[in-house]
Amino acid sequence: MTAVNLAAKLAQFHDTWAPRTIARVNDYDVRLAKARGEFAWHAHPDTDELFLVVHGTLHIDLEPAAESVTLRAGELFVVPRGTRHRPWSEEGAEFLLFEPSGVVNTGDAPGALTAPRREL
C-alpha cells in the first residue's frame, strides 16, 4: 500500500480524453484524464459521474437545461445519471473521474473518442 501522487501519474501520459485508472474503490475506478478542446455529447444512463479538476479549467455543458458548469483546480461537480453532457477545455485541464469500473468514457455515444480502460 502506497500513496498515489496525482502529479506523477499525470506526467506519465499526454493524450487527451483517454482516462487512466489509478486506483479502485470497491467496484469504482478513480481515473485521471487530460482535456483540450471539446468532448462528445453523451450520457451515462445508469450512473452519476464525478469530475474533480486538478489543474486548469474544465467546462461541462449540460442538457436539456442549456447550462454550463465551470470548474477550476480544486473544484468538483457530479453529473447526474442520464444527463447529457459535454466536457470541454479551451486552454487544457487535468481532472480526476470517479465512476463504476465498467463505464465507457463516451457513455451512450460511442465513437472516435471512445477509449479502452487503461491502468497506470
Q: Which residues of the chain have pLDDT under 50?
A: none
Domain residue spans in the chain?
Answer: 6-100
What's the confidence (pLDDT) of residue 20?
Answer: 97
**Which CATH number is 6-100's, of 2.40.10.10, 2.40.128.50, 2.60.120.10, 3.40.50.1380?**
2.60.120.10
Three-state secondary structure of the chain: CCCCCHHHHHCCCCCCCCCEEEEEECCEEEEEEEEEEECCCECCCCCCEEEEEEEEEEEEEECCCCEEEEEECCCEEEECCCCCEEEEEEEEEEEEEEEECCCCCCCCCCCCCCCCCCEC
What's the confidence (pLDDT) of residue 25?
Answer: 96
What's the confidence (pLDDT) of residue 65?
Answer: 76
What's the confidence (pLDDT) of residue 95?
Answer: 98
